[in-house]
C-alpha cells in the first residue's frame, strides 16, 4: 500500500544534462580546457563588477586595518575582493599582490589563490577577453 508520502522519482530530462550557463561555458573555452585555471577563475571573478561600489583604495585601507587588528579572515576577504577588482581591470601587478596577500592569510584553505598566482598573466588575459565579450567595460587601473 502506497500512501503517496515522499517525493516522486523524477525521470532524467535532457534539459538537466547541461546546467552550465553561456558565460560559464565561454569562460571554460577561454581557459583552454585547463580545469584548475577555469575553477579558480570561476570562483574569483565577479559576475557583474560594475556593482562593486567600494573603491579599491578604501578596500585596501580596510584590509590593512583588519590585518593590524589581527582579523585574518576579514583581511583575506578584503584582499580577495581587491584581487578580483584587479583581475577585472587587467592589472597584473595588483592580481599578484592582492591574491598573494589573500593566500598568506588563507593558507591551504583556498587553493584557487595559488593557481591564479602561478598563471596570473594568462588569467588576466582570459579575464580581459571574458569581460569584453560579456559587456563589462574595463576601467583603467
More confident residue, 25 or 11: 25
How far is the C-alpha of 91 from the C-alpha of 14, rounded, in Å?
Answer: 41
pLDDT given for residue 32 in this prediction: 80
pLDDT given for residue 61 in this prediction: 97
Q: Where are the domains of the chain?
A: 23-133
Give the end-to-end CA distance of the chain in Å, rounded to a whole number: 68
- pTM equals 0.78
pLDDT at 140 over 50: no
pLDDT given for residue 27 in this prediction: 81
Q: What is the DSSP string of 57-117?
A: HHHHHHHHHHHHHT-HHHHHHHHHHHHHHHHHHT-HHHHHHHHHHHHHHHTTS-HHHHHHH
**CA 58 distance to own-chain centroid:** 20
> For 105-128, how does the pLDDT look when each residue is reduced to its tens digit (9 = 90+)?
998 899 999 999 999 999 999 999
> For 82-103, how does the pLDDT look when each residue is reduced to its tens digit (9 = 90+)?
999 999 999 999 999 999 999 9
Amino acid at each position: 500500500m502506497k500512501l503517496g508520502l515522499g517525493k516522486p522519482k523524477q525521470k532524467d530530462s535532457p534539459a538537466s544534462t547541461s546546467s552550465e550557463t553561456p558565460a560559464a561555458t565561454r569562460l571554460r573555452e577561454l581557459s583552454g580546457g585547463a580545469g584548475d585555471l577555469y575553477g579558480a577563475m570561476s570562483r574569483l571573478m565577479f559576475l557583474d563588477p560594475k556593482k562593486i561600489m567600494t573603491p579599491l583604495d578604501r578596500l585596501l585601507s580596510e584590509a590593512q586595518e583588519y590585518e593590524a587588528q589581527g582579523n585574518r579572515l576579514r583581511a583575506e576577504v578584503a584582499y580577495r575582493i581587491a584581487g578580483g577588482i584587479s583581475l577585472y581591470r587587467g592589472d597584473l601587478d595588483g592580481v599578484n599582490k592582492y591574491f598573494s596577500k589573500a593566500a598568506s592569510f588563507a593558507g591551504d584553505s583556498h587553493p584557487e589563490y595559488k593557481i591564479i598566482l602561478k598563471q596570473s598573466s594568462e588569467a588576466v588575459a582570459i579575464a580581459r577577453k571574458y569581460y569584453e565579450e560579456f559587456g563589462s567595460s574595463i576601467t583603467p587601473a
